[in-house]
Amino acid sequence: MRRVCNFSAGPAALPIEVLAQVKEEIFDWHGSGMSVMEMSHRGKEFTTIIEDAKADLKQLVRLPDNYDILFMQGGATAQFSMVPMNLLEDSHTADYVCTGQWGVKAIKEAEKFCAVNIAASSADKKYSYIPAIEDWRCNKQSGYIHITSNETIGGVEFNEPPQTGNIPLVADMSSSFLSRPIDVEKYGLIYAGAQKNVGPSGLTIVLIRKDLIGNSKRVLPSMFDYRVFSEANSMSNTPPCFPIYVAGLVFKWLLELGGLMAIEQVNKKKSSMLYECIDGSDFYRNLVKKSHRSRMNVPFSTIDDNTDKRFLSEALSNDLCELKGHRSVGGMRASIYNAMPLDAVKTLICFMKEFEKKNG
């Protein structure tokens, strides 16, 4: 079997232990004589799977009782519109803090449903930092304040959730969900597409404070209505069964590792080793402000475009894959989510040092 070091930004690498278990159970899940892909979502087998997944996720994030977990579809992109559709009651204004290209997309979608106030933006410095909260110009009438916890393309991450007082904080956590402990109570709503750090694509996880559900006066399609999902335990129609099953295995994998505090230590170590390698050389660079650097997505470049290209092709022939930076920024990007082993990061660093010796 050949397994490469896969630095993809998403869909991304899954823990090898989880893949092994999926393989083990693919023909016959727990004596049911069928795979999870083939069973009724109303049967007792799948009911156990979804209930376990929910209970394990609850434990991982220490979910307070006044919050609900929704398993939805449509990716984070569907949430870009569901959030304003569902959360805005009387107010037709929402605040957005824009720290990268996912923020830009969230705003573009929200503008179809409400007036968007851009409370702060780091576009002035190519999204390389997070504007200080003292400089945010929030609107007191806003229904919520939206942030992107980790900008997957730019590699910019909030280290702490901002204090937003009575205005609910909404966070797109797609690329950092479960990479560190989450103080859920600081948020009104958290959403994350699964395919970065949690499981296969096709599942979107929403954590929502219960009092924010069902306040919208709009006519909402059922598939876009948090209340429908909350009341039906995310089973009003056929859920993404297989992704929920795999995500459930990832939750168990995380719990066995020691939960989010334990994985945070590993993530700190992996990212700081990589940034040290970049900062310790005149050959590589990362332009993000140090205190706002992402632990999950590390963009970097060499001295020029041609050298970047050579870096990528030589990396590929060493089984270091998917390191190409997003098409909008170029260069390289190493996505080092939870499932990326420390050894793979060490291998990348060795390769970087060798490459620098030859080309620097």
Catalytic residues: 102, 172, 196
193 near ligand PLP, judged by CB under 6 A: yes
Which range touches ligand PLP (CB under 6 A), out of 73-81, 263-271, 324-332, 337-345? 73-81
Site string for ligand PLP, 141-180 (x = CB under 6 A): -------x---x-------------------x-xx-----
Cβ–Cβ < 8 Å for 135, 124 = no
Which range touches ligand PLP (CB under 6 A), out of 21-29, 43-51, 72-80, 341-349? 72-80
Residue in 127, 187, 180 with CA at minimum distance from that of residue 337? 180
Neighbours of 129 (CB within 10 A): 19
338 near ligand PLP, judged by CB under 6 A: no
81 near ligand PLP, judged by CB under 6 A: no
75 near ligand PLP, judged by CB under 6 A: yes
Indicate which single residue of 196, 270, 292, 295 sits in contact with ligand PLP (rule: CB under 6 A): 196
Which residue's beta carbon is nearest to the bound ligand PLP?
Answer: 75
Binding residue count for ligand PLP, defined by CB under 6 A? 12
**Nearest approach, Cβ of 176 to ligand PLP (angstroms)?**
8
Residue 238 CA to its chain's centroid (Å): 24
For 67, phi and psi rounded to 5 degrees? -120, 155
Rounded Cα gap, residues 174 and 178, in angstroms: 10
Which range touches ligand PLP (CB under 6 A), out of 74-82, 124-132, 245-253, 306-314? 74-82
Q: What is the 3-state secondary structure (H, E, C) of 14-38?
A: CCHHHHHHHHHHCCCHHHCCCCHHH
For 239, phi and psi rounded to 5 degrees? -80, 170
Pick the closer one to ligand PLP by CB: 131 or 154: 154
**Nearest approach, Cβ of 102 to ligand PLP (angstroms)?**
4
Pick the closer one to ligand PLP by CB: 151 or 356: 151
Residue in 14, 2, 4, 6 with CA at minimum distance from that of residue 200? 14
The answer for residues whose C-beta is within 8 angstroms of residue 270's C-beta and 6 or more apart is 295, 336, 340, 342, 345
**Nearest approach, Cβ of 131 to ligand PLP (angstroms)?**
17
Q: Is 347 left (phi over 0), alpha (psi -120 to 50) or beta?
A: alpha
Rounded Cα gap, residues 94 and 107, in angstroms: 10
102 near ligand PLP, judged by CB under 6 A: yes
239 near ligand PLP, judged by CB under 6 A: no
Residues in contact with ligand PLP by CB under 6 A are: 10, 75-77, 102, 148, 152, 172, 174-175, 193, 196
